[in-house]
């Protein structure tokens, strides 16, 4: 097990103190009461650690994290996962992407037999009409299509990438395309920025960003930016961390990360300011919306905004990566492995995936600011637009761009 001494340059920070909590304004609301309870749970976490004689600061339990995920790969999951029957492709992505981030090598994240079984399983989730359902026999959906293709990209072998039927996928994406430039998530389904991001990512990975796919997307995204700089799911909706991520990442795809072009569509500086207000003053993590609670998944959904908005290496970040790092390591590691939402919550694969993705972003930001993160505790660097390890994304790009797509 790693000790604090072995990782002296990677201290997650001091324990939180009661005096750091926001003062009570004597006008309590339900939101303020719940926020106070969350802050007190962080203090209680530190007190319990102290009472147990654990006086050293927590360290990143990388081995325990890997064991938690490997157990899932081997089929050891709890019975309550039956409620995620329609999210089976997501489970594949969350688990193997998290394992990839934890791996210290560029070797395949799954052994050959497991990789082949996973490819065959994901293929069974695809439909002749195009796209992937959440499981075998389920209707195709933009989100579960995104998850299946992302999982295949993490596996990254020729066999995995060849298993994607680009012609039927393209027909599915065109079927989801709407007159306003957005994409429906499924036949007769809702139309919000999630569908657009998932569709554009699938098309970008597979080298199918045709004019028919991209038509009207920028105008649709422009209609979603709120007065405060964030992006809502639909025009007029409240700004939200997940939707803002989908909107900005979609623009990165459409504009090939050209900030001048992106700035013609939305106000990037007001978005950056909105994102900076989502980092919680006490906890150090991010909330998804104003007046909401901290949640480790927003370490990625909001943290990635700063990675995408770093126009110049010398541009100061409005995110504090040290405080984000402290939140994730001190308070979000599950006692038996995995990552959790916040103290008192149970670890799960969703939060493990996105908390580790956020930790990767925090580590990269710390390194750019001249801080040292020990190599044995480092996570792989991710491409924030796709939430894939940069090496995997480059491999996928080379594979499909060497195979031009011609719609039938």
Quick check: 212 and 158 in contact, CB under 8 A?
A: no
Catalytic site residue 295? yes
Q: Which residues contact 268 (CB under 8 A, 6 or more apart)?
A: 259, 262, 309
Q: Where are the alpha helices (DSSP H) in 107-240?
A: 112-124, 142-155, 158-162, 166-176, 193-205, 211-214, 217-222
Among residues 36, 64, 116, 289, which one is catalytic? Answer: 289
Alpha-carbon distance 346 to 338, whole Å?
Answer: 9
Instruction: Mark whether 367 is an active-site residue.
Output: no
CA 191, 248, 89, 177 torsion-angle sign: positive
Q: 16, 46 in Cβ contact below 8 A?
A: yes
Catalytic pick from 46, 100, 348, 383?
348
Query: What gap in Å lies between CA 1 and CA 61, rounded to an integer?
Result: 7
Cα–Cα distance for residue pair 97/132, rounded to 1 Å = 18
Which position has the token pair 């770093």? 310
3-state helix, strand, coil in the chain (%, to 5): 50, 5, 40
Which residue in the list 297, 340, 353, 380 is annotated as catalytic? Answer: 297
Active-site residue 401, yes or no?
A: no
Has 353 been annotated as catalytic? no
Of these residues, 177, 342, 351, 380, which one is catalytic? 351
**Is residue 320 annotated as a catalytic residue, yes or no?**
no
User: Does the annotation count 194 as an active-site position?
Assistant: no
Reduced to 3 states, what is the DSSP secondary structure of residue 231? strand
Q: Catalytic residue, from 165, 292, 320, 367: name it.
A: 292
Q: Which residues contact 152 (CB under 8 A, 6 or more apart)?
A: 119, 122, 160, 161, 163, 164
Report the distance separating Cα 36 and Cα 14, nearest Å. Answer: 20
Q: Are 115 and 158 in contact (CB under 8 A)?
A: no
17 in catalytic set: no
Catalytic hit among 46, 100, 192, 295: 295
- Identified catalytic residue from 341, 350, 353, 386: 341
Is 298 an annotated catalytic residue?
yes
Instruction: Please indicate whether residue 24 is annotated as part of the active site.
Output: no
Among candidate residues 97, 205, 240, 340, the one labeled active-site is 240
Active-site pick, 197, 245, 298, 354: 298
Cβ-in-10-Å burial (0-12, 13-18, 19+) of 239 comes to buried
Tokens of 54: 């654990």
CA separation for the pair 343, 136 (Å, rounded) = 35
Give the residue numbers marked as catalytic: 240, 289, 292, 295, 297-298, 341, 348, 351
């Amino acid at each position: 097990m790693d000790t604090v001494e072995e990782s002296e340059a990677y201290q997650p920070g001091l324990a939180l103190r009661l005096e750091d909590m926001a003062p009570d304004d004597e006008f309590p609301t339900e939101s303020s009461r719940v926020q106070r309870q969350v802050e007190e749970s962080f203090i209680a976490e530190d007190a319990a650690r102290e009472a147990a004689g654990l006086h050293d600061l927590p360290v990143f339990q990388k081995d325990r994290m890997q064991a938690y995920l490997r157990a899932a790969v081997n089929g050891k999951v709890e019975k309550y996962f039956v409620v995620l029957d329609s999210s089976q492709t997501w489970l594949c992505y969350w688990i193997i992407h998290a394992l990839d981030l934890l791996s210290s090598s560029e070797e395949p994240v799954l052994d050959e037999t497991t990789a082949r079984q996973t490819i065959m399983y994901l293929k069974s989730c695809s439909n002749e009409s195009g796209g992937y359902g959440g499981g075998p026999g389920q209707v195709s959906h933009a989100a579960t299509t995104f998850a299946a293709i992302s999982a295949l990209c993490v596996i990254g072998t020729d066999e995995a990438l060849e298993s994607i039927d680009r012609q039927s996928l393209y027909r599915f994406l065109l079927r989801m395309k709407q007159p306003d430039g957005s994409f429906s998530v499924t036949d007769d389904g809702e139309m919000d920025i999630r569908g657009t991001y998932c569709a554009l990512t699938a098309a970008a990975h597979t080298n199918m960003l045709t004019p028919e796919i991209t038509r009207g997307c920028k105008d649709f995204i422009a209609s979603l930016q709120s007065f405060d700089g964030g992006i809502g799911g639909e025009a007029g909706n409240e700004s939200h961390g997940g939707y803002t991520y989908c909107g900005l990442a979609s623009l990165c795809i459409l504009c090939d990360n050209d900030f001048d072009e992106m700035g013609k569509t939305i106000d990037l500086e007001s978005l950056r300011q909105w994102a900076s207000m989502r980092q919680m003053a006490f906890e150090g993590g991010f909330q998804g919306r104003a007046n909401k609670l901290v949640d480790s998944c927003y370490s990625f959904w909001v943290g990635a905004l700063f990675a995408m908005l770093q126009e110049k290496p010398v541009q100061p970040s409005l995110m504090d990566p040290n405080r984000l790092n402290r939140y994730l390591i001190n308070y979000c590691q599950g006692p038996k492995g995995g990552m959790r939402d916040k103290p008192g919550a149970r670890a799960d694969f969703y939060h493990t995936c996105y908390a580790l993705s956020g930790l990767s972003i925090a580590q990269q930001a710390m390194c750019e600011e001249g801080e040292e993160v020990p190599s044995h505790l480092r996570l792989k660097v991710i491409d924030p637009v796709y939430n894939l390890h940069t090496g995997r994304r480059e491999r996928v790009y080379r594979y499909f761009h060497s195979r031009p797509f011609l719609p039938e």
